[in-house]
Amino acid sequence: MRQNLDLRVHDRVALDEIELYAEMLSAVAAAERPLTVAEIDMVLGVRSDGAGRRELTQID
Residue range 21-49, pLDDT digits in tens: 999 999 999 999 999 988 998 888 887 77
Which amino acid is present at 43? V
Task: Report if residue 56 sits inside a domain.
Answer: no
| Rounded CA separation 47/9 (Å) | 30
| Rounded CA separation 7/54 (Å) | 35
Task: Report if residue 45 sits inside a domain.
Answer: yes
Q: SS3 string of the chain?
A: CCCCCCCCCCCHHHHHHHHHHHHHHHHHHHCCCCCCHHHHHHHHCEEECCCCCEEECCCC
Task: Report if residue 54 sits inside a domain.
Answer: no
Full domain range(s) for residue 13: 1-49
Task: Report if residue 13 sits inside a domain.
Answer: yes
**How many domains are contained in the chain?**
1
Task: Report if residue 38 sits inside a domain.
Answer: yes
Task: Report if residue 44 sits inside a domain.
Answer: yes
Indicate the pTM of the whole model. Answer: 0.63
Task: Report if residue 12 sits inside a domain.
Answer: yes
